[in-house]
Structure 1
Amino acid sequence: MAGTRSVRSRLRRRRDRRGRGVRGLLFPATLPAARSRSERFDAIVL
């Protein structure tokens, strides 16, 4: 039994300590605020 317990503990996913993770998109993809820094830079330079 001790062998199966150690295998389970290795396979278990780590939990977020606060119980919160990324909840979803902050902005819809259609808004300019959703673009990444590199996308904004490319839009200005290119």
Structure 2
Amino acid sequence: MSHANAPLTPAGTLRLVRRCESRPIAHVAAEAGISRQCLSKWKARYD
């Protein structure tokens, strides 16, 4: 369940995490409009 201010749905988050397997986290985060720290946290949860 996402809250009203969530930047992405769980499916969108998973897509971004999977993109990080072949590309730098900073680049993926910049393209998605989220912080590198946020994407790093999501990736750590996924791993």
Asked if TM exceeds 0.5, the reply is no
Using the size of structure 2 for normalisation, the TM-score is 0.28
Structure showing greater Rg: 1
Higher relative contact order (CA 8 A, sep 6+): 2
